[in-house]
Structure 1
Amino acid sequence: MVSGPALVHGPASRTDGEALSTLLHLAPWTLLLAFVLSAVLPFAVRPWLTRWGVVDIPTERSSHSRPVLRGMGLAVALSLLATYAAALLLGLIPVDRSIALVVLAMMAGSAGLGWAEDYRGISIGVRLAVQALIGALGTAALVVALGIPAWWWPVGVAATVAYINIANFMDGINGISGLHGGAVGLLYAWAGGVNDMPWLVCAGLALAGAFLGFLPWNLGHGTVFLGDVGSYVLGGSIAATAIGAFLSGVYVEYLLPPLLIYLADTAVTLVLRIRRGEVWYKPHRQHAYQRLTDVGLSHVQSALLVTAATVLVSVISLYGLRANGTGSALAGLAVVLVVVVYLILPVLLARLTGRSRGTAS
């Protein structure tokens, strides 16, 4: 078991029943509000995206074949920020409000950077510098607010930059980011419930609601894309929430498993591309989730598989956290097995079906 630096209790300070009661109490004001806003705001945002010409033109590496409006993540970001700000203003977060404010600011900063990239385009160097600045300022504020050692500061900076880019890399098929935001948000809300942290419950529920509300716009034929504003606010919000929770003492077993499939897919793909001498940051179609579509799965099927693996890894990890000795070790082995199966699944399916990117119809 690995806990954050400010831990003052065990793996869970509340019972499952108490945690569920908190989630059900806060859900109408966070999950539902964010969902409704995210489902409705695109009607207002879409005409502006068309007027501004925020369009994604497909290339040979794209998973779509026709121009599609991108930047609809602006509606998702507004929904998330408005909901979380409302939770603060309405007193749904009675304690640790300074943590919530820092997390909200990091969410807003990530969304702003992503929108600037969608609207005008920004060089890679500037993007990385601003991502690092968001992580640096946010983590520094959390370190001061929580009174913890400053050596956690570079960890927070690195985590922010890493997950913003990981979420961006993994946003390549319809539905995957919406489902990831929904799954991670609900899992983090549960972590907040069992650890008696209303700010974390509200952050998770708002995140889940905002990204699940976008799914009707993006599933199937995918009439609009999140764009960088969507993937940046997804990665930045998850990173900010995870950093705030870990520094507040939440066990890492609650925070890392929901991100493990994304981390593994990105890391393995990155290492293989570097070994082949490819330019690692150039667009490509070599992630496991993309290769799953090459062997016959639809976008929705691939996105659901990624999400199912994420939830499975998280549930197994929560079991391992509460188990002792052999049970905990078996849970760890099961997590590794799920990740490995996910990574090699495209190869296995290709052999079974005889399909690949070059032969798939």
Structure 2
Amino acid sequence: MSAIAAAWLSGGIALVASVVLPFAVRPLLVKLGIMDVPNERSSHERPVLRGLGLAVLIAMVVAGVTAVLLFVLTPFVLPGWQVLLVVVVGSFCAGLLGLAEDLRGLSVGVRSALLLAIALGAAVALLLTVQTGVNYVPAAGTASFGWPQATALPLWGAILLAVYAVLFISSYINVANFMDGLNGISGFHGVIAGLTFAAAGAALGMPWLLAAGLILAAGFAGFLPWNLTKPGAFLGDVGSYLLGGAVAITSFAALVAGVPLLATIGPMVIYFGDVAVTLVKRVRAGHRWDEPHKEHTYQRIQQLGYSHVQASGLAATATLLTSALGLGSLFTGLGGTIALFAAGLVVLVGYLALPKLLPRR
């Protein structure tokens, strides 16, 4: 089986499993009484079942393990299966941490320590895997883009990258959790981020990245019908932690494998920007940053009278634009990359200004 066929098959498995598994998972959640009760942070008005991200977690792990096996068991072992395995295991661990938070709750100290441990484990595993020569085979024609394969790093460089990864991955898991406040927003984000990574993998001849992206996109696409139709259901922490972990770990894996930085962070710009600006504003106003609130840009848009899907769609549109700009860096040099970066900042500023620009409904 070819690398492309293995990637698409794995994505198909993730989609079907994510659509079907809630039929089995939902009754279990109902029996356990895992409900999201409206509070100061909520944008819904009635209790809603949460934790359906468990179905997405199972679907993505099954599809991810299938992809790894397909990569390994072909007559000629496909390159990058070790990187894909690290992405699958790291994402699984992030989802399990969220599941523990849904079921019993964790103290801030324990949760933070486990987040850092997951991020450190993923970072070290990826650096060791890529730096020992497990990389990709560039597809025909991609050499003209001028992006070389990852090269060996000095020890100090690997340490700096590891520190960056720990902060990057652990913080984005929290960011994804903060942004999971409207119907559709996390599902849209997972689909866009996954397709962005898949596009980068296809363009640069990285079959493992193609597979990881398709599995991510398909897993959250399968959740959307359950989230957007009555009676509805939420991902819960298991789903938002899975989303943050899968996006951040895949992004870092792509970076250390040689994908241009803008292409790896394009899907994350809006989420990082929304959370960072909101927290800074709250701290400057004298509020505690960790108190429940509804002051994120996407929440303020919804409070203007826009539906959940409309507000989530605006955030998704901005993410789609920054993702497309990031992918543009695959085909340009330094000057073009700087221009694309500036354009991404314009998109972010425009998104953050939407609560003031949009008419009230």
| Both structures adopt the same fold (TM-score exceeding 0.5) | yes
2:180 aligned with 1:171: yes
2:20 aligned with 1:66: no
1:73 to 1:308, Cα distance in 2 relative to 1, 3 A: same
2:205 aligned with 1:225: no
Quote the residue 2:10 is aligned against: 30
Deviation at 1:30, TM superposition (A): 2.2
Deviation at 1:221, TM superposition (A): 4.8
Separation in structure 1 between the aligned mates of residue 330 and residue 26 of structure 2, nearest angstrom: 44
1:319 to 1:101, Cα distance in 2 relative to 1, 3 A: closer
Separation in structure 2 between the aligned mates of residue 231 and residue 154 of structure 1, nearest angstrom: 23
Quote the residue 2:82 is aligned against: 98
Question: Which 5+ residue runs of structure 1 have no aligned equivalent?
Answer: 1-20, 356-361
Quote the residue 1:16 is aligned against: none
1:99 to 1:65, Cα distance in 2 relative to 1, 3 A: same
- Deviation per CA, 1:171-218: give whole Å up to 9, x if none: 000010001000000000111111211111111100000000000000
Separation in structure 2 between the aligned mates of residue 96 and residue 26 of structure 1, nearest angstrom: 13
Asked whether the 8 Å contact 1:30–1:209 carries over to 2, the reply is: no
Separation in structure 2 between the aligned mates of residue 112 and residue 169 of structure 1, nearest angstrom: 18
1:326 to 1:128, Cα distance in 2 relative to 1, 3 A: closer
Asked whether the 8 Å contact 2:71–2:81 carries over to 1, the reply is: no
Asked whether the 8 Å contact 2:185–2:313 carries over to 1, the reply is: yes
Which range moves more in the overlay, 277-286 or 265-274? 277-286
Which range moves more in the overlay, 320-329 or 308-317? 320-329
What secondary structure is seen at the aligned counterpart in 1 of 2:21? helix
Asked whether the 8 Å contact 1:175–1:300 carries over to 2, the reply is: yes
Amino acid at match of 1:223: G
Asked whether the 8 Å contact 1:166–1:262 carries over to 2, the reply is: yes
TM-score (structure 1 length as normaliser): 0.87
2:64 aligned with 1:84: yes
- Deviation per CA, 1:300-345: give whole Å up to 9, x if none: 0111111111111222333355345765554333222211110011
1:48-67 pair list within 5 angstroms:
48-67=28-47
2:309 aligned with 1:300: yes
1:325 to 1:61, Cα distance in 2 relative to 1, 3 A: closer
Quote the residue 1:113 is aligned against: 97
1:1-361 pair list within 5 angstroms:
25-26=5-6, 28-91=8-71, 94-147=78-131, 148=153, 149-221=158-230, 223-323=232-332, 328-349=337-358, 352-353=359-360
Asked whether the 8 Å contact 1:192–1:198 carries over to 2, the reply is: yes
Separation in structure 2 between the aligned mates of residue 48 and residue 216 of structure 1, nearest angstrom: 19
Which range moves more in the overlay, 316-325 or 80-89? 316-325
Asked whether the 8 Å contact 1:45–1:75 carries over to 2, the reply is: yes
Amino acid at match of 1:195: L
Instruction: Report sequence identity in percent.
Output: 45
1:89 to 1:324, Cα distance in 2 relative to 1, 3 A: closer
Separation in structure 2 between the aligned mates of residue 122 and residue 131 of structure 1, nearest angstrom: 12
Asked whether the 8 Å contact 2:191–2:221 carries over to 1, the reply is: yes
1:31 to 1:137, Cα distance in 2 relative to 1, 3 A: same
Separation in structure 1 between the aligned mates of residue 231 and residue 168 of structure 2, nearest angstrom: 30
Asked whether the 8 Å contact 1:22–1:193 carries over to 2, the reply is: no
Which range moves more in the overlay, 249-258 or 217-226? 217-226
Which range moves more in the overlay, 56-65 or 139-148? 139-148
Q: What value does the CA root-mean-square deviation take over the aligned residues?
A: 1.9
Amino acid at match of 2:350: V
What secondary structure is seen at the aligned counterpart in 2 of 1:95? coil
Amino acid at match of 2:167: A
- Deviation per CA, 1:267-323: give whole Å up to 9, x if none: 100111111121212221000001110112110011111111111122233335534
Amino acid at match of 1:255: T
Question: Which 5+ residue runs of structure 2 have no aligned equivalent?
Answer: 132-152
Quote the residue 1:359 is aligned against: none
- Deviation per CA, 1:58-102: give whole Å up to 9, x if none: 124311111111110000000011101101112277112221221
Amino acid at match of 2:353: I
Amino acid at match of 1:166: V
User: After the TM superposition, which segments of 4 or more aligned residues of structure 1 sit over 6 Å from their partners?
Assistant: none
Deviation at 1:120, TM superposition (A): 0.6
Amino acid at match of 1:270: L
